[in-house]
Structure 1
Amino acid sequence: MERLEEGLRHVGHLHERMQGLLAAVLAVGSDLDLEAVLRQIVESAVSLSEATYGALGVVGEDGGLSRFITVGVDEKTIAEIGPYPEGRGILGLLIREPVPLRLHDLGKHPDSYGFPENHPPMTSFLGVPVRVRDEVFGNLYLTEKRGGGDFTGDDEEIVTALARAAGVAIENARLYHRLRQATEAFQRRLLPDLPRLAGLELEARYEPSSDAPRIGGDWYDLIRLPDKVPCLMVGDVMGHGLEAAAVMSQISNMLRVIAFDEEEPPSRILHRLDEVLHALHGAPMATVIVVRLEPAPGGRTLHWAAAGHPPPLVVTPGRRPRYLVGEPGPPLGVDPDLPRGDHREDLPAGSSVLLYTDGLVETRGRSLETGMAEAAELAAEYAAAPLPDMCDALLRRSTASGQYDDIALLAARVTDQSRIKGTTSRPQAR
């Protein structure tokens, strides 16, 4: 009877561990950010093996450890220990011979290199390689089995199974990272360089969605009209993917031509664009804002019209920030005959006007009103700071708050600078 009860307890414990392994595999594969995946792997290995300490050492091109992700050692102790291991001793043995290794006392192994000062005591040891395809990505190092015993064969098997799943998760995260880089590069190639103009400082930013890598429809543009007045444009095509990117490119190019050719107020430019889109492209849905910055005594006069787009944000040193709230008019693709109003605002020297897509003010867990208020207050803090710093701060706020949509940002500051020839570099990332 005692043997039966012991067998049942063993089966129950094994079932619990299998359930734990399944949960760990799902957790490891649920994220596509490589840093998060690597940490989850170590945390899962520590939990499954009942280890006190765990680490994942990533093997670099030189055969040593290029990264070392730890669990169980606090930041203060890590700082006191000093630099992370480079891959000598037992850790180096696993790099040279990537097979599972269990030790009763790692300090007594002939390859043991010893511990630096302030290192916590570690005796029992389990090491398991992590492979991505046929390449050894790194090794899991687990020490100090809780309860004082040794790591068992079951521990080795379950951590080895986790390591196989980890290899797949790491490969997925790598592919995701490469896809995201390619997507961002393609998107940025669709965006223009900005000219340098007398009396204006210009900055632009583009930040892709924090969600899955996908080409979006957010864009900005700036051209000089025949009367030498700069025309600023920002738009957002509904949807994502290649279709949205294609529509975005078509709309921005058509808007350039119409704005340059018509020499009309911004509302008329949007009306003509909407007519053309209805006639040629089946009326894709998009929001757009068009702004003229005309020279005026002591600054500039801003003339603008919007097609369902968020309002411009104006920031002037010593004044409260303000959104230029006017009748936005319907988005493109609804009805070209619906009216859109023109609006006017005087901007004294030193003022900055920011045109943006909704990703700048829409964040997870916050209302649109809260997001707009936070963005305005932050911009006001940078009213007298360099314009690039203001743009960077706004993007940091959005991404830190859980940005889930693309961001296009075009900022202009009224200055007294004389014209500088040439063009700026391509739009910057955060």
Structure 2
Amino acid sequence: MTLGLFEAITKTMPHPVLLCAGDGTILAANPAAAASIPQLCAGASLYVLAQDDPGVLRKHLGNWVRSGSPLPGGLVLKDSDGSPVRFRCNGVRATWWQGPGAVIQLNLHRLDHADRFVVLSQQVSALNREIAIRRTAEAQREKLLLAEQVARARLQRLYQLTEALASSATLAQVAEAVAATAPRVLDVERVALELHSQRLVPALGPGEEPRVLSGTAWRDLDRPRDVAHPAAAGALRSVLEADGVVLGALTLYPGAGGVPEAEHLTAVAQQIAQAVRRAGLYEHEHRVAERLQLSLLPRLPDVAGLEVATRYAPASDMVMVGGDWYDLYDLDEDHIGLSIGDVAGHGLPQAAVMAQIIAALRGIVLRCGTRPEEVLRELSEYLHLYHRGQMATAAYLLYHRPTRTVTYVKAGHPPPLVVRPDGSSRYLDGPISPPAGPVPDARFRQGRTTLGRGRGRPALHRRPDRTP
């Protein structure tokens, strides 16, 4: 293409078209260029007409002269009156040029009001896209926040169930905790607990009748009259299994919340199964311990002319074994000895120590049963020597028949109670000595009282809140 052909082709174009040298000199311009700015003509210099920093123009010219395809850019040129005129432009090296040096073909588009409207429209579209993205992100954030709140509330209810089960020791307490808290945790109307009592608390020996466990908040699947009826339509049954043993089932009756998620139901059922298993082991252990303690309590001898009655009653259903003991000693025709005491703590170790104390006391009483302070002194030495770390409270009373005198020693134990014939009573609030066992060479002081005529009788209490 020649320069004349370039001018002929660009003559009819509506926008300015320039042919520039690499130094910014205009070699040719179409009529639209002169119509836009009269100075845009052959021989003029863009560096003279440009209002931009010359470094910016130099950078644009360098990019365009090296490019084989049109590159966008922008120019701000001075009009004839000196006012700035903005152009967007596309420049590319004119490969058809056969003259000396590299030449740039430059297409200019004046940024008039129509162009600014296009730019503004593009900006509005971009702003709308940004707003849509932000709204989507906000909706997702609110959705995640709601899911987090739901999960937190569910976890809080699960903690409440865990706390209730952890504080429940017996099966009755576990069943009541499940009935009270499990429906809220699982978001159902109600639940029903069904258990195999014989798997939880097996018989202690062959031929023994199964123990009837307390509680009405659950059904015993091993008792024919308690066998569960088929669940109502829509009910969901989850098996309770712990340590490889199927203990029963938890039946759910869904409400407005629908059926709980399978993973959530499995987690709740596992917690309940572990609590039920733990409660069964607890009751079995205490059943064994209770039988052991009752078997260790002595059979009191029949004493001529003396009416003797005993009763062992724990202060709570939770504690069925401990170190409590009582005993009676027929010393001679004139003297009767009585003892009562308690090894500190509850459990099988205390029951074993209690059995040894009963045996030791019978030997001690044979030697010095008419000297109460000596009886408890030897008992204290026995505990200190053979059961270090153990402590027992005790009371020993010596009843002298001819004079109706009672001599007694209290080693940290609550005072015995004397009930008079008229029904009134009084405690033997005599001297108090330290408990037996922890204090070596302890001294025990004795008190003395005389019982009145009639059927007045002493009553030995484990604690004031217990039945003798």
Distance of 1:321 and 1:343 partners within structure 2: 16
Alignment size in residue pairs:
312
Within the candidate set 340, 360, 367, 1:254 is matched to: 360
Provide the residue aligned with 2:297 in structure 1. 191
CA distances 1:49-86 after superposition (whole Å, capped 9, x unpaired): 3333332233578xxxx98637xxxxxxxxxxxxx975
Task: Decide which of 213, 216, 220 is 2:326's aligned counterpart.
Answer: 220
Are 2:244 and 1:137 aligned? no
Task: Tell me which of 307, 310, 335 is aligned to 1:229.
Answer: 335
Work out whether 1:354 is the aligned partner of 2:459.
Answer: yes
Alignment-derived partner of residue 259 in structure 2? 152
Cα–Cα, structure 1 residues 34 and 306, in superposed 2: closer, same or farther, change >3 Å?
Answer: same
**Higher relative contact order (CA closer than 8 Å, sequence separation 6+):** 1
Secondary structure at the aligned position of 2:301 is classed as: coil
C-alpha deviation, 1:215, in angstroms? 5.9
The question of whether the paired residues in 1 share the 8 Å contact of 2:421 and 2:454 is answered with no
- Aligned equivalent of 2:430, options 304, 323, 326: 326
Pairwise CA distance, 1:7: 4.5
Instruction: Mark the CA change 1:260 to 1:162 in structure 2 (over 3 Å): closer, same or farther.
Output: same
Following the alignment from structure 1 to structure 2, what is the Cα–Cα distance between the partners of residues 283 and 136?
42
TM-score (norm 1): 0.61
Distance in 2 (alpha carbons) for counterparts of 1:68 and 1:259? 49
Cα displacement (A) at 1:304: 2.0
Q: Which runs of structure 2 are paired with 1:12-411 in the superposition (5 Å)? A: 12-58=149-195, 69=217, 86-90=227-231, 106=233, 125-143=235-253, 145=255, 149=256, 151-154=258-261, 156-207=262-313, 210=316, 216-227=322-333, 229-239=335-345, 244-262=350-368, 264-274=370-380, 285-296=391-402, 300-333=404-437, 334=439, 336=441, 338=443, 340-357=445-462, 360-361=463-464, 394-395=466-467, 409=468
Q: Alpha-carbon deviation of 1:5?
A: 3.0
For structure 1, the 5+ residue unaligned runs are: 71-83, 92-105, 107-123, 362-374, 376-393, 396-408, 410-430
Change (3 A) 1:322 1:128: same
Kindly state the Cα deviation for residue 9 of structure 1 after the two structures are TM-superposed: 1.7
**Secondary structure of residue in 1 paired with 2:424:** coil
Q: Does the C-alpha gap of structure 1 residues 40 and 274 become closer, same or farther in structure 2, counting only changes over 3 Å?
A: closer
Deviations 1:391-410 (A, max 9, x none): xxx44xxxxxxxxxxxxx4x
Q: Distance in 1 between matches of 2:394 and 2:356?
A: 13
Distance 1:15 1:131 in 2: 27
CA distance in 2, matches of 1:41, 1:269: 52
Name the SS of the counterpart of 2:288 in structure 1: helix
Check the 8 A contact 1:307/1:331 in 2, yes or no. Answer: yes
Tell me: CA distance 1:135–1:248, structure 2 relative to 1, closer, same or farther (3 Å): closer
Letter in 2 for 1:139: A
Unmatched 5+ stretches in structure 2:
1-135, 199-212, 219-224
Cα drift, residue 47 of structure 1: 0.7
What is the DSSP-based 3-state SS (H/G/I as helix, E as strand, rest coil) of the residue aligned with 1:348? coil
Q: TM-score, normalised by structure 2?
A: 0.57
Per-residue displacement from partner, 1:325-378 (whole Å, max 9, x unpaired)? 111233334354635124122143332322133xx23xxxxxxxxxxxxx5xxx
- Partners of 1:86 and 1:278 lie apart in 2 by 54
Judge conservation of contact 1:267–1:342 (CA < 8 Å) in 2.
no
Name the CA distance, whole Å, in 2 between partners of 1:26 and 1:170: 14
Distance 1:85 1:189 in 2: 33
SS of the residue corresponding to residue 167 of structure 1 reads helix
Contact 1:184 1:208 in 2 (8 A): no
Post-superposition Cα deviations, 1:278-308, rounded to whole Å, max 9, x if no partner, equal 67766964332111233348xx443322233
Give 1:222's aligned amino acid.
L
- What secondary structure sits across from 2:460 in the alignment? strand
**Helix, strand or coil at the partner of 2:217:** strand
Deviates more, 1:310-319 or 1:162-171: 310-319
Give RMSD over aligned pairs: 3.7
Give the conservation status (yes or no) of the 8 Å contact 1:232–1:291.
Answer: yes
Structure 1 CA distance for aligned equivalents of residues 176 and 383 of structure 2 = 49
* Cα distance in structure 2, aligned partners of 1:219 and 1:131: 40
Kindly provide the CA deviation profile for residues 63-117 of structure 1, in whole angstroms up to 9, marking residues without a partner as x. Answer: xxx98637xxxxxxxxxxxxx97533336xxxxxxxxxxxxxx2xxxxxxxxxxx
